[in-house]
Amino acid sequence: MTGSDAHQDGIGERIDTSRPHTARIWNYWLGGKDNYPVDEEAGRQIRALHPGIVDYAQADRAFLGRAVRHLTADVGIRQFLDIGTGLPTADNTHEVAQRIAPESRIVYVDNDPLVLRHAQALLTSSPEGSTDYIDADLRNVDEILGIAAKTLDFTRPVALILLGVVIFVGDDEDPYGLVRRLIDALPAGSHLVLSHTVTRPDMPDVDEAVAFWNANGTPKLNQRTPEQVTRFFDGLDLLEPGVLSCSRWRPDAEDAGDTQPAEVAMFGGVGRKK
């Protein structure tokens, strides 16, 4: 398991169960079991402040599935670099992609020790394809690219997936520069799939929930406006319908019906490198 074997012995020491952690709370909202009482309590309190939080956790996950299906089936992408993987749940990136194209190759990246502990669940590749896991922080671009190159061919298009992870990079850490460095390392025809919690005047409960989280949980969150989220796609060709609520990015016909899905405070989009 690239990037992880050396850390397995001390992994328990890195898991702090005294404070809620975003990956574990997200897992709780998605109905998972990889969380602790402190995460469940925080998750309940945040849901009380922002009742729609579970909806946008689910919308973000569904957005991942639709984006990966489109890139695999319609665009022909066979390589995925998924940074900020989170805890394994149903329909992880490799499961969606390899269901369509078994030869797909996926590299997951996360720096959460609990995700590392469960990383084996992310490595159940089809025989024709490959999966790997890197224990690294999004900010360590060179390390990620260096290790990922053992599995991915950076002369061929890659889908870079950044779902709900850039929110943890403060403005003083050059989040746009980090994303740009990753995209610059990929060839033309590669795609960026990105989602981000937004702040907007008509969604005040989101701001209240984020304020509660930043006072009680780890790591801290950085909200951005829809326009600021769109900036991450500068220089790319944005696929229709652009950057908008994850629930409204190419919703499945059976889910949407005759009405537009309700908006959630998680916005996302997909862009193609020229």
* Sole residue written with tokens 């690239």: 2
Q: What is the mean pLDDT of the chain?
A: 88
Among the residue ranges 6-10, 36-40, 223-227, 237-241, the one predicted with the least confidence is: 6-10
pLDDT digits (tens, 9 = 90+) for 53-112: 778 778 998 999 999 999 999 999 999 999 998 877 778 999 999 999 999 999 999 988
Does residue 8 carry a pLDDT above 50? Answer: no
Paired with 197 in beta bridges are: 266
Pick the closest to residue 273 from 230, 226, 229, 239 (CA basis): 239
Q: Which residue has the higher pLDDT, 228 or 204?
A: 228
Question: Can you list the pairs that 43-51 forms with residues at least 24 positions away whose Cβ atoms lie under 8 Å?
Answer: 45/212, 46/209, 46/212, 46/213, 49/205, 49/208, 49/209, 49/212, 50/205, 50/206, 50/208, 50/209, 50/265, 51/205
Q: How confident is the model at residue 256 (pLDDT cuts 50, 70, 90)?
A: low
Pick the closest to residue 161 from 218, 232, 219, 113 (CA basis): 232
- The pLDDT of residue 28: 82
Paired with 135 in beta bridges are: 110
- A 10 A CB-CB count for 74 gives 9
What is the total residue count of the chain?
A: 274
Tokens of 201: 């005047």
DSSP code per residue over the chain: -TTTGGGSTTHHHH---SS-BHHHHHHHHTT-S---HHHHHHHHHHHHH-TTHHHHHHHHHHHHHHHHHIIIIII---EEEEES--S--SS-HHHHHHHH-TT-EEEEEE--HHHHHTGGGGG---TTSEEEEEE--TT-HHHHHHHHTTTS-TTS--EEEEES-GGGS-GGG-HHHHHHHHHHTSPTT-EEEEEEEB--TT-HHHHHHHHHHHHHSBSPP--B-HHHHHGGGTTEEEPTT-SEEGGGSS--HHHHTTSPPPP-SEEEEEEEE-
d(CA 217, CA 210) in angstroms, rounded, equals 10
173 Cβ contact list (under 8 Å, min separation 6)? 139
Rg (CA), the chain: 18
Contact, 194 vs 233, CB < 8 A? Answer: yes
d(CA 193, CA 83) in angstroms, rounded, equals 11
Model pTM?
A: 0.87
- The pLDDT of residue 21: 77
Q: Which residue has the higher pLDDT, 142 or 205?
A: 142
